[in-house]
Amino acid sequence: MRADLPFGLNISAVERETGLSKELLRIWERRYGFPQPARDAQGDRVYPPEQVDKLRLVRRLLERGMRPSKVVRAETAELARLLEHMHEEVRRGAASIGSDQLLESLGQGDLGALQRHLQGELVVRGLRDFVAEFLPQANVAVGEAWFTGEIGAWQEHAYVEQVSQVLRAAMHALNQPLSPPRVLLTTPSGEQHGLGLLMVEAMLRMAACQTWSLGVSLPIDDIVEASVELGCDILALSLSSSFPLREAGDMVALLRGRLPRATQLWLGGAGSTVLKRLPEGVLRMDALAELAPAVDAWRASHKA
């Protein structure tokens, strides 16, 4: 598509506006025929406003676990209807866990009330249900509130930090003897979402696993080196839905090939659910509740 006087954003601006990488935009252009940028006098891509608007919708749907193949080719109006339907489901889910008070605290910027609400939910539910039942729905509700503009980015960050503090304090209070498997937790380079990783660590610590967390966005070389040096039995990797699908598949295959054979690779997060084929020695967890049975299975297979 060409225009004599193209009007819109260049690819760097679209990347900033939508959170979709330049590489991903080019891949979709070749694979799905969308987006279809114009070209300026220098031959550089220029994306019309209506395409940028659609890309924003696509990104929001990807964040909710939709696959690119299902949404990139769809019409903008269809995507908007799908997003609204998902929004209604989120509202119903939020009501089921009583998250109105949580969102109200965030909306008012009352972080003290937010912390008290989280602590109260932890006390009433216990750590296991707090992590496996309450937080997944609360996270979605907060993310939806941010997407729709009900809260700002700083409030979403404040929520993540408050939840992280509550989880770390609760794990510290467990104070139980730890035993194998020894689990290393991290995310690969470019993956900045760490709350899911912390939730996984909490579930593993409740199963009395020895855990080490290296935080987010670690290069593969460092992941492999740490796995070897620490003698870990399992590498737990978290991928959000924003992590590029093609990169995820290549990264998992490369990492599996470089890890010691005895080290299992466990994957979690919305970004891992789209991987159709997994190498031998790679286990995907689609829900936090699957972790405890997986730990039990590992222990049963490694009895002396």
Residue 77 placed within a domain: no
Return mean pLDDT, the chain.
88
22 and 61 housed in the same domain: yes
Instruction: Choose between 100 and 22: higher pLDDT.
Output: 22
118 and 145 housed in the same domain: yes
Give the Cα separation of 3 and 10 in Å (integer).
Answer: 14
- What pLDDT, in 10s, does the model give residues 258-298? 999 999 999 998 878 777 788 888 999 988 999 999 999 99
Q: Can you name the residues that pair with 212 across neighbouring β-strands?
A: 184
Is there a contact between 202 and 131 (Cβ–Cβ < 8 Å)? yes
269 and 187 housed in the same domain: yes
> How far apart, in Å, are the Cα atoms of 43 and each of 4, 37, 225?
11, 11, 43
157 and 218 housed in the same domain: no
- What pLDDT, in 10s, does the model give residues 1-22? 444 445 788 998 898 888 788 8
**Count of structural domains within the chain:** 3
State the pLDDT at residue 5.
Answer: 45
- Domain that includes residue 203, residue range: 177-301
Q: What is the CATH number of the domain that holds 114?
A: 1.10.1240.10
The label of the residue with tokens 């954003």 reads 9
Domain boundary among 172, 207, 233: 172
Q: What is the CATH number of the domain that holds 243?
A: 3.40.50.280
Residue 128 placed within a domain: yes
Give the closest residue to 221 by CA, choosing from 249, 188, 183, 262: 188
